[in-house]
Structure 1
Amino acid sequence: MSLKLYVHPLSQPARALLLFCRANSIPFQEHVVDLIKGEHKREEYKKVNPFQKVPVISHDGFLLTESVAILRYLSRTFSVPDHWYPKESELQARIDAYMAWQHLNLRSYGSMYFQTGYVIPRTFKQPVNEQKLSKFEKGLETALDEITDIWLKDGPFIGGGKQISVADLLAVTEMEQPGMAGYDVKTYNKRITEYMNTVREILQPHYDQIHSECHKIQEKALKKA
Structure 2
Amino acid sequence: MAVELYLDLLSQPCRSVLIFAKKNNIPHEVRNISLMDGEQYGDHFGKISLIRKVPALRDGDFTLTESPAILLYLAQKFQTPEHWYPADLQQRARIDEYLSWQHCALRLHGSKVFWLKLMIPEVLHVEVPKEKMEAAVEQLSDSLNLLEEKFLQDRPFIAGGRISLADLVAIVEVMQPVACGLDVFGGRPKLNAWRDRVQAAIGKELFDEVHQNILGSQERVKEMDGSKLESSKAKILNLFM
Decide: shared fold, TM above 0.5.
Answer: yes
Residue in structure 2 matched with residue 139 of structure 1 by the alignment: 139
Q: 1:172 to 1:219 in 2, by over 3 A?
A: farther
Q: 1:6 to 1:220 in 2, by over 3 A?
A: closer
Aligned residues with identical type, % of pairs = 35
Task: Give the RMSD, CA atoms, in angstroms.
Answer: 1.7
1:180 Cα offset (Å): 2.3
For the residues of structure 2 that align with 1:114 and 1:123, how far apart are their CA atoms?
12
Residue in structure 1 matched with residue 233 of structure 2 by the alignment: none
Letter in 1 for 2:85: Y
For the residues of structure 2 that align with 1:219 and 1:199, how far apart are their CA atoms?
26
1:42 Cα offset (Å): 2.3
Residue in structure 2 matched with residue 150 of structure 1 by the alignment: 150
Residue in structure 2 matched with residue 112 of structure 1 by the alignment: 112
Letter in 2 for 1:183: L
Bigger mean CA offset, 9-18 vs 115-124: 115-124
The residue matched to 1:99 in structure 2 has which SS? helix
Residue in structure 1 matched with residue 4 of structure 2 by the alignment: 4
Question: How many equivalent pairs are there?
Answer: 220
1:8 Cα offset (Å): 0.7
1:185 Cα offset (Å): 1.8
Residue in structure 1 matched with residue 178 of structure 2 by the alignment: 179
The residue matched to 1:112 in structure 2 has which SS? helix
Residue in structure 2 matched with residue 162 of structure 1 by the alignment: 161
Letter in 1 for 2:194: Y
1:40 Cα offset (Å): 1.0
Q: 1:220 to 1:58 in 2, by over 3 A?
A: closer
Q: Indicate if the aligned counterparts of 1:118 and 1:180 stay in contact, CA closer than 8 A.
A: no
The residue matched to 1:87 in structure 2 has which SS? coil
For the residues of structure 2 that align with 1:49 and 1:24, how far apart are their CA atoms?
25
Bigger mean CA offset, 52-61 vs 124-133: 124-133
The residue matched to 1:137 in structure 2 has which SS? helix
Bigger mean CA offset, 43-52 vs 9-18: 43-52
1:30-69 pair list within 5 angstroms: 30-69=30-69
Give a deviation string over 1:14-57, Cα, whole Å, max 9, x none.
00000101111111001110111111122332111111110001
TM-score after normalising by structure 1:
0.92
Q: 1:146 to 1:219 in 2, by over 3 A?
A: farther
Structure 1: which 5+ residue stretches go unaligned?
A: none
Structure 2: which 5+ residue stretches go unaligned?
A: 222-241
- Poorly superposed stretches of 4+, deviation over 3 Å: 218-221
For the residues of structure 1 that align with 2:118 and 2:44, how far apart are their CA atoms?
28
Alignment of 1:90 onto 2:85: no
Residue in structure 2 matched with residue 211 of structure 1 by the alignment: 211
1:62 Cα offset (Å): 0.9
Residue in structure 2 matched with residue 197 of structure 1 by the alignment: 196
Residue in structure 2 matched with residue 124 of structure 1 by the alignment: 124
